[in-house]
């Protein structure tokens, strides 16, 4: 199943390419539906990205802070700032993508400046001393190497070579890991890496992704494997998120792409599988499905594809 050149499972890559092609056919996408989904992803990205770093605001509290400007009792000023800053940084990457600005030192530092504004005195500046990460097996490179390593990463991103054009998801995963590994800032590297991944994907015509708090353990484990030279699990992890985001965007258009809870999908006359079996296949990654909250959803199109591929 693994193509050594792609790092990403060939069936998953194929699914992403097909969905991306179908989404491109619909462009320009309906403005009101995209705005609604965009606002939802902005909230989810802000909540999950902060929660991965230990912020204790719940999804509902994050929503209140961002939409109502409410102060949540018992939560620190820092946690409130992390929420408003990250949402503002999310808006910033959208405007950078819209203006077709390059990803360079200026954009990366500008994103960091917004992320830790009012929290860190060195907001928007590369670190000028060495750091250790608690619990990490690998020490970030010496501060004197940061600018040169960032130069290399930026040069890699600006290469308009054939492989990068064909494999934006792989490039996004490589960039995300590399930024975390270089650790260019004293704080906020993970948040900046997740924002930059979305900036890169959006610039390449993909929807933004959300890396979820529930998968925090997996996320860090795969980053550690990438530290050791094995990028494959992390690249597939990012690809799975891209696949899910494409599913959410295609669902805007309904029809065969409408998201249906597995409990209802199992009741369709063309489906001979139980809800439990469908949920198992969704968890295993064989049935193309997304988990929203605690519920699994899939589409008639995904069910048809599954039956065609797996019916004996």
207 neighbors 24 (Cβ within 8 angstroms): no
φ, ψ for residue 290, nearest 5 deg: -130, 150
Residues 283 and 172 placed together within one structural domain of the fold? no
Adjacent-strand bridge partners of 290: 297
Number of domains composing the chain: 2
The reply to whether 108 falls in a domain is yes
Look at residue 53 and give its three-state secondary structure.
coil
Domain boundary among 202, 231, 253: 253
Full-prediction pTM beyond 0.85?
Answer: yes
Q: Are residues 163 and 268 in the same domain?
A: no
CA 18 – CA 1 distance, rounded (Å): 18
- Give the DSSP H/E element, type plus range, for residue 142: none
Asked whether residue 209 falls in the same domain as residue 312, the answer is: no
Whether 148 and 109 share a structural domain? yes
Q: Is position 284 within any domain?
A: yes
Dist CA 22 CA 13 (whole Å): 14
Last residue of a domain, which of 229, 253, 277? 253
Kindly give the interhelix angle for 59-68 and 77-98, rounded to the nearest 10 degrees.
70
Q: From CA 182, how far away is CA 206, in angstroms rounded? A: 25
Structure tokens at 292: 């929203």
Q: Do 51 and 213 form a contact (C-beta atoms < 8 A)?
A: yes
The pair phi, psi for residue 272, each rounded to 5°, is -105, 15
Of 253, 282, 304, which residue sits at a domain end? 253
In the structure encoding, which two tokens stand for residue 2, read together? Answer: 């693994």
CATH number at residue 175: 1.10.3290.10
269 with 155, same domain?
no
Active-site residue, from 129, 176, 183, 310: 183
1, part of any domain: no
- Lookup: tokens for 304: 């048809």
Reading the chain (312 residues) residue by residue, the pLDDT tens digits are 344 456 999 999 999 999 999 999 999 989 999 999 999 999 999 999 999 999 999 999 999 999 999 999 999 999 999 999 999 999 999 999 999 999 999 999 999 999 999 999 999 999 999 998 877 778 999 999 999 999 999 999 988 655 666 689 999 999 999 999 999 999 999 999 999 999 999 999 999 999 999 999 999 999 999 999 999 999 999 999 999 999 999 999 999 999 999 999 999 998 999 999 999 999 988 899 999 988 999 999 999 999 998 875
CB of 44 within 8 A of CB of 259? no
Same-domain pairing of 260 and 183:
no
| Residue whose C-alpha is closest to residue 169's, from 189, 198, 148, 192 | 198
The closest alpha carbon to 225, from 177, 170, 296, belongs to 177
Domain limits for position 245? 10-253
Residue 47 lies in a domain: yes
3 within some domain: no
Catalytic, 176? Answer: no
User: H-helix or E-strand containing 290?
Assistant: strand 289-292
Note whether residue 291 is domain-resident.
yes
């Amino acid at each position: 199943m693994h193509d050594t050149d792609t790092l990403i499972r060939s069936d998953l890559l194929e699914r992403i390419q097909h969905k991306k092609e179908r989404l491109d056919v619909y462009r320009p996408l309906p403005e009101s539906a995209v705005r609604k989904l965009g606002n939802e992803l902005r909230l989810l990205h802000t909540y999950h990205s902060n929660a991965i770093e230990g912020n204790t605001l719940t999804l509902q509290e994050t929503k209140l802070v961002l939409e109502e400007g409410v102060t949540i009792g018992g939560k620190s000023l820092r946690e409130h700032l992390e929420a408003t800053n990250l949402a503002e940084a999310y808006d910033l990457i959208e405007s950078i993508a819209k203006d077709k600005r390059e990803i360079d030192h200026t954009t990366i530092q500008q994103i960091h400046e917004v992320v830790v504004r009012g929290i860190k005195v060195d907001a928007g500046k590369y670190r000028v001393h060495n750091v250790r990460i608690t619990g990490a097996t690998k020490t970030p490179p010496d501060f004197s190497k940061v600018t040169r390593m960032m130069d290399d990463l930026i040069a890699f991103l600006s290469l308009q070579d054939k492989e990068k054009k064909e494999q934006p998801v792989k490039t996004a995963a490589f960039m995300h890991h590399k930024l975390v590994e270089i650790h260019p800032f004293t704080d906020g590297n993970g948040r900046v890496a997740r924002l930059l991944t979305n900036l890169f994907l959006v610039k390449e015509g993909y929807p933004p992704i959300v890396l979820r708090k529930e998968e925090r353990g997996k996320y860090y484990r795969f980053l550690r494997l990438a530290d050791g030279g094995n990028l494959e699990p992390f690249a597939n992890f990012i690809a799975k998120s891209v696949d899910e985001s494409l599913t959410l965007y295609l669902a805007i258009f309904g029809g065969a792409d409408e998201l249906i809870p597995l409990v209802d999908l199992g009741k369709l006359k063309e489906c001979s599988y139980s809800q439990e079996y469908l949920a198992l296949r969704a968890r295993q990654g064989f049935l193309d499905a997304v988990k929203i909250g605690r519920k699994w959803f899939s589409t008639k199109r995904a069910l048809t594809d599954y039956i065609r591929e797996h019916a004996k």
